[in-house]
Amino acid sequence: MTESRGVVLVTGGGRGIGAAASVALAKDGWDVGVGYLSRDDEASRVVAACTALGRRALAVQADVVEAADVERLFDAVTDGLGPIGAVINNAGVVSPSGRVDEYDAARIDRVFRVNAVSAFLVAGAAVRRMSTKYGHGGGVIVNVSSRAAVLGSAGEYVDYAASKAAVDALTVGLANEVANEGIRVLGVRPGLIETDIHEAGRLDRLGTTPPLGRPGQPEEVAEVIAFLASDRSSYMTGTTMDVSGGR
């Protein structure tokens, strides 16, 4: 069996990119805490896939928008698996397609809460659980952003794009804050990846637009996340990698 790397917590680990990341991390030697919102069947499947690889794994329901839930999530993973050494800040949602002049406040609030506010709550909890400043052994945070943060997503969801730009700024700023506390902070910007997050027909419409001529698979993002979480990326912090087929 691969040498143990410790315990990783993956938010949104039950489906899509987070599910693929959980399995890739288990393959790479991590025991995996799988956070999810409501799809316990999917999260249980990911736990089974990780344990089939010889690792320990645990599914925990928690809404990452709620600070108390985030604390409970970190407590449950620490109690069940041991001290956390890496956190994949992955849970996220898109909003329905539309122009900025059509958005109402509730929509904007929701997308910023789930994508940006939650990323800060999870990152803050990760620092409190991993930083040498708090008596821990250090670790890695990988923030899952989006190419939308750079492209802007005109006519689709500029609010989503802006919420992911906030995640990119979190990666840079937090990396500088905690670099001397044993924590590296990194990000990935996926492009068009085949998961359930897209509105019906979106991948058919846009899937061949990347220069590589196809949408990406969650496993192709997961590989990069596993690399960033590992010490194979030991001289990297404060940077975000595009995984977008050139788009």
Footprint on this chain of ligand NAP (rule: CB under 6 A): 11-12, 14-18, 35-39, 42, 63-65, 90-93, 114, 144, 146, 190, 192-193, 195-197
Whichever of 104 and 196 has its CB closer to ligand NAP, that residue is 196
Bridge pairing between strands 240-243 and 84-89: unpaired
Q: Are 114 and 97 in contact (CB under 8 A)?
A: no
> Which structure tokens are listed for 22?
């959980």
| Least distance CB 125 / ligand NAP (angstroms) | 13
| Least distance CB 53 / ligand NAP (angstroms) | 19
**Distance of alpha carbon 71 from alpha carbon 149, whole angstroms:** 28
Whichever of 131 and 148 has its CB closer to ligand NAP, that residue is 148
**Distance of alpha carbon 45 from alpha carbon 25, whole angstroms:** 15
Residue from 36, 103, 157, 160 carrying the catalytic annotation: 160
| Least distance CB 135 / ligand NAP (angstroms) | 28
Q: Are 217 and 24 in contact (CB under 8 A)?
A: no
Whichever of 237 and 240 has its CB closer to ligand NAP, that residue is 240
**Distance of alpha carbon 82 from alpha carbon 9, whole angstroms:** 11
**Distance of alpha carbon 102 from alpha carbon 15, whole angstroms:** 30
| Least distance CB 174 / ligand NAP (angstroms) | 17
Distance, C-alpha 84 to centroid of its chain: 15
Whichever of 5 and 147 has its CB closer to ligand NAP, that residue is 147
**Distance of alpha carbon 69 from alpha carbon 243, whole angstroms:** 30
Active site residue 160: yes
Q: Would you please indicate which residues are annotated as catalytic (active-site) residues?
A: 160
